[in-house]
Structure 1
Amino acid sequence: MPELIIRYNNQETLQALINLAKSLDFEIARLPSKKGEKSIINGVEWVPGDGSVDLNMLSDIFTGKNLNASNLRALAWQRS
């Protein structure tokens, strides 16, 4: 689905876009403005991650496991 980002300077523009969205059947997603604030994008609740997490600690978990994206997708979609 194509996406478009529109930056606006005042609330009247936002209200006009909301009214336009209702008549043209498109969705307006608002990104969270405060740290840790949740938002809903395309019907999915989105919570921003913690930027202070050290991802290098995860390398010990996955190193030497012979994992790749293809294997992970195949395992994730298996029905039990």
Structure 2
Amino acid sequence: MRKSFYQFLMTLRDPESHDEISQFAANAFFDQSFPKLEQAYEPLSHYLEENAGYLPSMTIFDDAFLKYQEQAREL
């Protein structure tokens, strides 16, 4: 079974890093409403656009989602 985007994002969490994706992951961890089971781009993008004030640019999400898709292809 394929991981959800949230599960993948949590593998990128690193409190020591100042990388934008790591920061996104750290903030998503504390977002209790984050759609934790979602795998599709559109619902995630919509949620983040409407609710993620902690995400300074949607490009960060786009980059993270691209990594998510690349990992799914490798499995």
What range describes the TM-score normalised by the shorter chain of this pair? Answer: under 0.3
The TM-score normalised by the length of structure 2 is 0.25
Superposition TM-score, scaled by structure 1 size = 0.24
Structure with higher strand content:
1
Q: Which has the larger radius of gyration?
A: 1
Identify which of structures 1 and 2 has the higher relative contact order when contacts are C-alpha pairs closer than 8 Å and 6+ apart: 2
